């Protein structure tokens, strides 16, 4: 079979759906293929967005794909949260809203965590899960003391103003962990991970650093994952 090229992959459709009281954005590839095999539902990691999956989707010709954006990420509504369980509840509600039936869930890091919880809440919506570096600790770790309330991860202080996606790419390309990204995947992250700056000049991250910085310290809070 010939290699799939970027030109062979259609641009996705951006849609929105209300799930668990939050307006979620998601991208859909090849809706005409729905029902021709299990749909794929992809869920990104903390700080990323739905279009980081583009280079993976190029290698999945003919598949119907959803790539969702979790609350506070990408084009989804930035509603505050109490813990990681909220992301699982969001995804479970979104699986219902999208009428997933036996889908294959593919999640990275916190996205994998949310998928596990969503599949437990809505077992018929998923037939299989592909969990990439899932942020799920040993049960004993969830009983360890949590950081003080209001603690923010250093990600909260990350640079949040860029002149362009290209300038963001050039800044990140030589910095771990982005220096090991496939170059086009990194450009996808930069190109789709910015929005016009509130100041009216340049661009800022689509996932606000303060929102991202609140997520990490609560990683061991959700004992309900078991």
CATH of the domain at 28: 3.40.50.1820
Average pLDDT over residues 143-149: 93
d(C-alpha 194, C-alpha 76), whole Å: 13
| DSSP category for residue 147 | P
- Residue 92 lies in domain: 6-148
Residue 3 pLDDT > 90: no
Burial class (CB in 10 A: 0-12, 13-18, 19+), 208: middle
Is residue 212 assigned to a domain?
no
Q: Where are the alpha helices (H) located in 19-109, listed in sequence order?
A: 54-57, 85-97
d(C-alpha 80, C-alpha 210), whole Å: 11
> pLDDT tens across 32-74, in order?
999 999 999 999 999 999 999 999 999 999 999 999 999 999 9
Give the number of domains in the chain. Answer: 1
| DSSP category for residue 44 | P
| pLDDT in the model for residue 154 | 96
Is residue 167 assigned to a domain?
no
**Predicted TM-score (pTM) of this structure:** 0.94
Mean pLDDT of the residues in the chain:
96
d(C-alpha 209, C-alpha 158), whole Å: 6
């Amino acid at each position: 079979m010939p290699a799939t090229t970027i030109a062979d992959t259609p641009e996705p459709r951006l849609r929105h759906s209300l799930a668990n009281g939050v307006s979620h954005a998601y991208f859909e590839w090849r809706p005409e293929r729905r029902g021709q095999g299990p749909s794929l539902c992809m869920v990104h990691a903390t700080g990323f967005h739905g279009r980081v999956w583009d280079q993976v989707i190029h290698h999945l010709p003919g598949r119907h794909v959803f790539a969702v954006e979790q609350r506070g990420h990408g084009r989804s509504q930035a509603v505050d949260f109490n813990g990681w369980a909220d992301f699982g509840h969001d995804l479970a509600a979104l699986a219902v809203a999208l009428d997933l039936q036996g889908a294959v869930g593919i999640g990275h890091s916190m996205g994998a965590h949310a998928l596990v919880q969503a599949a437990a809440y809505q077992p018929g919506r998923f037939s299989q899960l592909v969990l990439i570096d899932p942020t799920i600790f040993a049960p004993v770790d969830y009983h360890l003391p949590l950081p003080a309330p209001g603690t923010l991860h250093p990600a909260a202080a990350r640079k949040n103003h860029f002149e362009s996606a290209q300038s963001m790419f050039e800044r990140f390309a030589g910095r771990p962990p982005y220096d090991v990204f496939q170059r086009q995947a990194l450009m996808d992250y930069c190109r789709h991970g910015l929005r016009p700056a509130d100041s009216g000049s340049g661009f800022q991250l689509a996932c606000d650093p303060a929102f991202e910085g609140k997520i990490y310290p609560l990683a061991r809070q959700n004992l309900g994952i078991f």
